[in-house]
């Protein structure tokens, strides 16, 4: 049984990458460059718009802001109900893996949660906060409305042989996984790995370590690239924390975190343990921004802790926060927060980790999109 929205068979937008690639030829005018603006709407969904500029940009301040007319639904979310336009400020720029020959650029735009994240990272800049995120996702075939590789009737063999699987019947979606990996490398992202996950059709890529607000920037762009790659294959990407009910692993976005003190051999482990102790008193505040429908995932089973209980342990994959065994042996390193779901806003997650780890003065998370209800 599926918990994600139903996709009527054949409803996917058809993409034909081989035909499109014929048009990816060098432009006659080398000063014409395509900018793909990537922005996040109020429902935390990605959108994009293309524009042409007459020069090859070398810095972000050369990129003009994006002005868009709002649709009726978007107007309702603005303070000025009479305003029909919104401006998106460029905040990060990457090479466009889908427009290689024309020196295209992907330009990420500002979002409300990014601004707060940026301010928080600047406040704690001396700590040099590093983050690494493990983005899990499930690929769905719109022709069957089932995860990629699943039989038309019934379910596949039980879990066990699919994690880091190799070979037909053990690995599903390698072409998509590999294409995404290469595209992220071309874009200049700090992608450091990928693998098949426990459930058939479930995959993962890892981004990091990234400094401060750049963690959220890179994860959003990596998600954009994944959606574009999946378009070419006619496949749907689900970030729902529990897209398949039953005896199948849920989908998360484990977040690794460290500061310069935690990475120091002098008292690194002590700094990690102190941060965890501080975080323990803010568990419910974390849950509010750790993903919609996360209660379906954090059940205390399938290598998760229970949503209502905070816990931590050395090498414990069933805890809220895991301290790797190597970190204890070396006396320094990082912690892994295993609570974030696959559909989190990385800006909100990294912000609250900084806030609670160091007892920042205010907590104000009232975003109804993420509130957990038992």
Dist CA 273 CA 349 (whole Å): 19
Largest CA distance in the chain: 61
Please, what is the average pLDDT of the chain? 89
pLDDT one-digit tens code per residue, 25-76 = 665 666 789 999 999 988 889 999 999 999 999 999 999 999 987 665 555 5
The yes-or-no verdict on residue 370 having pLDDT over 50 is: no
Confidence of residue 368 (pLDDT cuts 50, 70, 90): very low
Fold for the domain defined by 119-357: Creatine Kinase; Chain A, domain 2 (3.30.590)
- Long-range contact list for 169-178, CB < 8 A, 24+ apart? 170/196, 171/196, 172/139, 172/147, 172/148, 172/196, 172/200, 172/201, 173/139, 173/148, 173/149, 173/201, 173/203, 173/235, 175/233, 176/139, 176/203, 176/229, 176/230, 176/233, 176/235, 177/203, 177/205
CATH 3.10.20.70 fits 31-110, yes or no: yes
At 280 the pLDDT is 96
**Whole-prediction pTM value?**
0.90
Domain range summary for the chain, segments of one domain joined by +: 31-110, 119-357
| pLDDT tens for each residue of 180-198 | 999 999 999 999 999 999 9
* 374 pLDDT tier (thresholds 50, 70, 90): very low
* pLDDT category of residue 371 using cuts at 50, 70 and 90: very low
Which pLDDT value is given to residue 101? 81
**For the residues 351-360, what does the mean pLDDT come to?**
94
pLDDT digits (tens, 9 = 90+) for 66-115: 998 766 555 555 555 455 678 999 999 999 999 988 889 999 999 999 99
């Amino acid at each position: 049984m599926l918990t994600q929205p139903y996709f009527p068979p054949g409803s996917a937008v058809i993409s034909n990458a081989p035909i499109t690639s014929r048009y990816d030829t060098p432009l006659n005018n080398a000063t014409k460059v395509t900018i793909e603006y990537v922005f996040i709407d109020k429902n935390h969904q990605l959108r994009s718009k293309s524009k042409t500029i007459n020069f090859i940009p070398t810095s972000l301040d050369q990129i003009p802001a994006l002005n868009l007319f709002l649709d009726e639904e978007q107007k309702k979310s603005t303070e000025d109900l009479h305003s029909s336009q919104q401006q998106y400020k460029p905040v990060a720029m990457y090479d466009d893996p889908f427009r290689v020959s024309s020196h295209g650029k992907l330009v990420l735009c500002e979002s409300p949660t990014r601004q707060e994240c940026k301010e928080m990272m600047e406040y704690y800049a001396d700590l040099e906060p590093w983050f690494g995120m493990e983005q899990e996702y499930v690929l769905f075939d719109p022709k069957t409305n089932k995860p990629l590789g699943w039989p038309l009737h019934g379910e596949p063999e039980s879990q066990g042989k699919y994690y880091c699987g190799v070979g037909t019947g053990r690995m599903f979606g390698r072409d998509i996984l590999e294409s995404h990996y290469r595209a992220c490398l071309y874009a200049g992202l700090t992608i450091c790995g990928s693998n098949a996950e426990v459930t058939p059709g479930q995959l993962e890529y890892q981004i990091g370590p990234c400094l401060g607000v750049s963690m959220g920037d890179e994860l959003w762009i990596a998600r954009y690239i994944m959606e574009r790659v999946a378009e070419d294959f006619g496949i749907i990407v689900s970030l729902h924390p529990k897209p398949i009910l039953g005896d199948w692993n849920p989908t998360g976005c484990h977040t690794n975190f460290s500061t310069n003190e935690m990475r120091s051999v002098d008292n690194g482990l002590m700094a990690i343990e102190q941060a965890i102790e501080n975080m323990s008193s803010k568990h419910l505040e974390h849950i509010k921004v750790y993903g919609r429908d996360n209660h379906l995932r954090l059940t205390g089973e399938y290598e998760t802790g229970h949503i209502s209980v905070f816990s931590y342990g050395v090498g414990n994959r069933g805890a809220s926060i895991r301290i790797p065994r190597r970190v204890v042996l070396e006396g320094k390193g990082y912690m892994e927060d295993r609570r974030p779901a696959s559909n989190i806003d990385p800006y909100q997650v990294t912000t609250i980790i900084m806030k609670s780890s160091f007892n920042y003065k205010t907590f104000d998370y009232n975003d109804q999109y993420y509130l957990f209800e038992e």
